[in-house]
Structures are given as structure tokens and as C-alpha cells.
Chain A
Amino acid sequence: MPANGQRALEAQAVLAGVPKVPGAPKPDPILVASSVVRRFGGLSAVDVEHVEVQRGSITALIGPNGAGKTTFFNLLTGFDAPDEGTWSFNGRSMGRLSPYRVARLGMVRTFQLTKALNRLRVIDNMLLGAKGQRGEHLWASLLPFLWRRQEANNTERADLLLKRFSLDAKRTDFAGSLSGGQRKLLEMARALMSEPELIMLDEPMAGVNPALTQSLLQHIKMIREEGATVLFVEHDMDMVHDISDWVIVMAQGQIIAEGPPGDVMKNPEVIDAYLGAHHERALTESGESLTTGDTI
């Protein structure tokens, strides 16, 4: 697998010319959000003035717990409704769109708490990701000859993805029998089945053991090499540094910094917001992400 292939160099080259300030405009944004506000009672969980995500890049969204990262994800993907704000994906306005429509347009997300469909087999989890299935219509489902060929094509594609994510041996197991790390892989592979243009990963590395983390990172890089855009939420600065082309930092609902990973991590404002009173602690959470029993 290419560690840092052609697309990575391209993305980094393009982003090198972008000013390192919050809300910086990107040369070719796939996602643009403006004045997005979500309040829970008196608390503004999200208050993003402006943010753009460069097409073809891996962008990390980081920030301390409670910064509003997941809430922002939920808003962008239609799982939650904002109090104010607009955003567009590929130039198309996306506000107030149902989450399933957001996904159909090519903006597919995963969840922080992995949502493997436990009592479905791994291969059925995968097939569920495929778009535009004729057999998913009630009447057509009764007439297998209408969808059998499409199903075979989807199955072939699903098997290729399972192989790539080293889940092919688990093909006919129930997804509920997989380990935590394998579920993360399955969820990512399933999202790829829908051939998204922008894949949004909510803490893809949480609860995954270090060995599997490396392979997850490679998979995320592969997604970029294939031309998709990745936006992901993460805590662990080491991993962010390793794979992201651009980092957006959130704290208390607002975007406080942007830039390439190296610059962002030296930014005193970020260190302040991120660590608060615990300056002496390391910027990693490797102790937390060590979960016994997660094997591949």
C-alpha cells in the first residue's frame, strides 16, 4: 500500500498555499459551512463561523472532549438540525436535508460508537452499503430476476473490499461476533460500498489496539489515493500528525485554529485549549486506546 502516494503530495502541495487561520478559504472546497450554530439550552455546542474542506485531502477535526466535533458531524450529515447556518456539499446547499439524502448525495459518515448490524452477517452488512439497489423496492424484491445480476455485482465488490480490509475470513459470521477493531474496519468498508465522495469518520481509531491502528491508518490513506475526501474526528495527536494533510481545531464549539498538522501542534492556543491545566502531559492518548482483546 502506498504510504504517501501521489494524491497525498498533491493535497499537501495545494494546501501549502492556504493561510493558516480559522475559516481559511481552500482552492477547491468539497464542503463549505457558514455560521452553523447549535444550542442546547443556554450552551452553544457548535458555533462555527466558516469552514472549508479541501477536495481530495485528509482533513482532521480535533479538539478536547466536549468541543462539539461530533455535534458538528451530526449537523453536517442531517442527524441533527442546527439553530442557524448553511453549508454546501459540491456546491449544493445541504441545510435541512434528511440524513439518508445526505448519504445518497455522496457524503457518508460512520459513528463514534460503532454501529455494526449485529445479527446480520458481515457480507450483508457490506451489501447494505451499496447504492441504488433495485431489490430494495418492495415489489421488485418479490421478483428476484429483477435484481439478481445487480446483487451479484455488488457481492463481488463487497468481497473485494472485505479482502482489502482483511475481513474476508469473517464473511459469513454475524457482525456481532467481531472484535471492536474489526467492527471499525467493517463500518469503514461498508461506508466505502456506497462509493462516497466525502467520507466522514467519527473517531475511527477509538478503542482500537495499536497494531490495528496502523492498518486503519493505511486504509484511510488508501481512500484518499482513490480520489475520495476524508474528514475525520480524532483525539490522538500522533495519528493526526501521521495521516492528515490539514487539521481543523475546535474548542467550545468554535474553530480556533487551522493548518498543516506540524504548525497546528505548535500553536500555543491549541495547546492551551487542548490541554488546559495539564500542560505537562503528553499529547497522546495511547494509554486510553489500548484495549485488550482487540485482535485482527
Chain B
Amino acid sequence: MDLTFVLGQSITQALGVTAIIYCLAAMGLNLQFGYTGLLNFGQVAFAAIGAYSVGVIVISFGASLWAAIPIGLLASVALALVLGIPTLRLRADYLAIVTIATSEIIRLMVRSIALRDTFGGANGINGKMGQAFHDLNPFHADIDLPFLTWTRQDLWVVTVGWSLIAIFTLATWLLVRSPWGRVVKGIREDENAVVSLGKNAYVYKMQALILGGLLGTVGGIVWAIAKQSVQPDNFVPDVTFFSYTILLLGGAARVFGPIVGAIIFWFLLVFVGEFLNQMIAAGWITFLLPTDVGPIRFILVGLGLMGLMIFRPQGIFGDKRELALDAR
């Protein structure tokens, strides 16, 4: 039993590329759901748009990564407009239905045989789509500390990724403490009250949807660059639900909620998985096969999160008094 290895893996993953991607997606949901009250159940669609923009433009069309990124962001804005224009005038549930359906439509579309030449079908797109980014890598060696092991490529992605998160967190903080933030929080509480005070709620909701979607898209771009591969089955609705889990774990409508949530979520998931693996390898657990670990770690982490929701429903950073107000 190598506890150092288990901890090392957990910490590496908790600070790694996957945590960054989910953190970005959850930051988007924080703006949409946490502050504005928009139920976007298709955040993964925005991530897919980002990842596939990089894959398609760089690999299928042979263009530059630096062209792919702005095109991906524009496509994300377009998706937000397509989703928002018909639904944001309606009740909140309509956005939820339309976004989850759209995220599946996008996944099935890029997976389809008819469009295989562009999107690569079920195999997705594989190739050095992030090369232009990795060429800029200032690090010369891998990092191999007792609790942290990254290749120099990962190290570069992680450095840029957390820097982006820092910038976006600062921007979120500025936004939500401004009068703009006050309006969107008002919309979350009661849209008609805000409208009766002369604010065009529709525009604010659209802005929040676009901004949150852009954060998800940045997550998708990071995904494509880091993994140099995009596959349709990476973009299942689970990604959205994990992002919501991360958001609620950290505390919705808290600026640092998604960061803390993403780190804890990935730490727990990897720790439980590796720990079980080690116990099975050491012969301490005999009733499980190594292949059972994948699902069981989700069961255990799920139970832990249920406990959190029961005993600390406001998340780690949340204010319980605020939550109690909903009951009135």
C-alpha cells in the first residue's frame, strides 16, 4: 500500500488539467445559475463548441490554432444567442429543457457518420491540434515532486489554465459586486420586480448566458489543447452535472466556489479510486475487482456529496442564513 502514490495522484489531479476544465465550466454556471438564476443544463455544449472548434479548424481544415480560438469563442456567443433568444422570455424551466436537448444534439451531430469527414465521427479528432500552444512552452523539464508529477506539457497547460482562472475570477468578482451584479442577482430573486424598476431583464439574462457559455468554451479549448484529441463521448451531459456538483460543493454565488469545488471534487474522486485500487492490489479487499473501482468511487463520492447537501446545503463557502430565506 503506497499512500504517497495515492496522495500524489490525488493532488496532481486536483490541480491538473481536468480540474481546470471543470472549474471553468462551473465558473460559467456560477454566473448563469448562481448569480442570475438561469438553469443551463447544457454547459457541456459550450465546452464541446470550444474543443471541436480547435479540432476541426486546426486538424480538419489545417488552419492556425490562433484562428481557431477566436472562432470558437464567436461560435459560443452564437450558440448562447440561439439558445437564449427563444427561451429567455419564457419561464426558467424552458431554458433548462432547451439547453440539455441542445447539448445532446451537438454531441450526436459531431458523432454522426454523415459528418465524419469534418468531425471524425465516433473516433473524434486526433492530432497535434495544440502544437502551436505547446511550442510556446517556457518550461524545459517535467516536474516530479513527491506529491506532484506533471510532464512539461501538462505543466505549461496548468500554468496558463490557473492563470486564466485567476483572471476570470477577478472579473467575476468585479462584475458581481457592481450595479450590474446587483441587477442579475435581483433577476434571480424576482424578475418582475426588477423589470418593474425599469431594467431590461432580458438583456441581462442574455449577457449572463453568453458570459457563462464563454467560460465553458474556454474550458473546451483547454481540453483540446491539453489532450490533443476531442471525442464526442467526452461531451456527455455528465460533464454538465459534474460541473453543477462542483459549483454546489464550493457554494453557488460565491466567487471562489468553483475553484474550491473543482479541487475538492477531483481530489476525492481520484483519492477514493486509487485508494480502492491499492487495497485490492494489496489483497485487503477481495470482494471487488479492479474494474469495479470506477463505478464504486462515484457511488462513494456521491454519498459524500449527499451528506454535504444534508449537513451543509449552502456548500463550503455559502451562508446558511441566505439559504434559509428561500423557505419563506
Contact = CB atoms under 8 A, between A and B. Distances in A.
Q: Do A and B bind each other?
A: yes
Interface of A: 77, 79, 98-101, 103-104, 108-111, 115-120, 124-125, 127-129, 131, 133-138, 140-142, 144, 147, 151, 174, 176-177, 187, 190-191, 193-194
B291 interface: no
B260 to A, nearest CB: 21
A215 B189 CA distance: 27
B91 to A, nearest CB: 15
B178 A174 contact: no
Most buried by B among A103, A117, A129, A187: A117
Contacts of A115: 190, 192-193, 196
A127 B180 CA distance: 11
Interface stretch (B49-57, B298-306, B318-326): B318-326
A128 B192 CA distance: 13
B111 to A, nearest CB: 35
Contact of B196 (A108, A125, A135): A108
A142 B178 contact: yes
Given A99-B192, A103-B196, A111-B196, 8 more contacts: A111-B192, A128-B182, A128-B183, A133-B179, A136-B199, A141-B179, A142-B178, A191-B197
17 contacts: A100-B200, A111-B192, A118-B325, A120-B182, A125-B186, A128-B194, A129-B197, A134-B179, A135-B180, A136-B180, A138-B207, A141-B180, A141-B181, A144-B178, A176-B325, A191-B196, A194-B197
Contacts, number: 111
Contacts of A191: 196-197
A131 B325 contact: no
A187 B326 CA distance: 18
A126 to B, nearest CB: 10
A138 B197 contact: no
Contact of B198 (A103, A124, A144): A103
Contacts of A109: 196
B320 to A, nearest CB: 12
Nearest to B210: A138
Contacts of A147: 178-179
A140 B175 CA distance: 9
B179 A138 contact: no
B101 interface: no
Contacts of A77: 196
B193 A111 contact: yes
A118 to B, nearest CB: 4
B199 A100 contact: yes
Interface of B: 171, 174-175, 178-183, 185-186, 188-190, 192-201, 207, 321-322, 325-326, 328
Given A100-B201, A135-B179, A117 B174 contact: no
A190 B182 contact: no
Contacts of A111: 192-193, 196
B185 A119 contact: yes
Nearest to B180: A141
A273 to B, nearest CB: 29
Contact of A117 (B178, B185, B326): B185
Nearest to A77: B196
Most buried by B among A119, A142, A176, A190: A119
Contacts of B181: 141
B99 to A, nearest CB: 21
Contacts of B186: 117, 120, 125, 128
A136 B178 CA distance: 7
Contacts of A190: 197
B195 A99 contact: yes
A142 B198 CA distance: 22
A138 B208 CA distance: 10
Contacts of B198: 100-101, 103-104, 108, 131, 194
B196 A136 contact: no
Contact of A174 (B174, B183, B192, B325): B325
B256 to A, nearest CB: 18
A193 B193 CA distance: 13
Contacts of B321: 174, 177
Given A128-B194, A135-B179, A137-B180, A120 B185 contact: yes
A103 to B, nearest CB: 4
A77 B194 CA distance: 13
Most buried by A among B188, B192, B198, B322: B198
Contacts of B188: 119
B190 A117 contact: yes
Nearest to B200: A100
A131 B183 CA distance: 12
A128 B181 CA distance: 10
A119 B178 contact: no
A176 B180 CA distance: 21
Nearest to A200: B196
A63 to B, nearest CB: 22
A136 B179 contact: yes
Contacts of B182: 120, 124, 127-128, 136
B189 A119 contact: yes
Given A117-B186, A190-B197, A127 B179 contact: yes
Contacts of A129: 197
A182 to B, nearest CB: 13
B318 to A, nearest CB: 11
Contact of B326 (A118, A127, A142): A118
Contacts of B325: 118-119, 174, 176-177
Nearest to B211: A138
A141 B178 contact: yes
